[in-house]
Amino acid sequence: MDAGELPLAYTGGETTGFQSPASDYIEQGIDLSDVLDLDKPGVYLVRASGQALAARGIFEGDVLVADTAAPPRAGGVAIAFVDGECVLATLAYREGAWHLLSADGGRAPRPLGEGAAIWAMAAALVRTEV
């Protein structure tokens, strides 16, 4: 090895003695950034807090993959700003208007509009501790 050179990346095909039978079949490892579309310009990461959406499988500390390009979807989870507060709420379409629902019924359904707007839709979820 030349001075200053780092070992070559080995992907399962670059053998030195016997040719690897896999060399024509090497594929890239799975890149979660690709799977989750993290490179899209409208995708952001948002940390969930609180347990109100635990029944939907969203727990305190989870990282949501938020897509600002995604259209609102009934039953989807929205990252929204309500009176300046950033909330995570289920979206519903009722009587001709989108509403943010509170899962534990602690708050009345909030129609979008004055003081309430969707910031992004949750597209996926990452939990680093299981």
Q: Is 81 or 93 the residue whose CB approaches another protein more closely?
A: 81
Binds another protein by CB under 8 A, chosen from 36, 58, 121, 123? 58
Give CA–CA dist 28/65, Å, rounded: 23
The structure tokens listed for 111 are: 């129609």
Give CA–CA dist 42/71, Å, rounded: 12
Q: Is 14 or 60 the residue whose CB approaches another protein more closely?
A: 60
- What letter would DSSP give residue 7? P
Handedness of CA 31, 37, 38, 44 (dihedral sign): negative
Q: Is 24 or 85 the residue whose CB approaches another protein more closely?
A: 85
Give the closest residue to 119 by CA, choosing from 90, 79, 83.
79
> Among 16-24, 25-33, 64-72, 91-99, which window interacts with another protein (CB under 8 A)?
64-72
Q: Please, which of residues 68-127 interact with another protein by CB under 8 A?
A: 68-69, 79, 81, 84-89, 100, 102-104, 106-107, 117, 119
> Taking a C-beta distance cutoff of 8 angstroms, is the pair 59, 41 a contact?
no
Q: Please, which of residues 12-31 interact with another protein by CB under 8 A?
A: none
Contacts to another protein by CB under 8 A: 1, 3-6, 40-42, 44-54, 58, 63-64, 66, 68-69, 79, 81, 84-89, 100, 102-104, 106-107, 117, 119
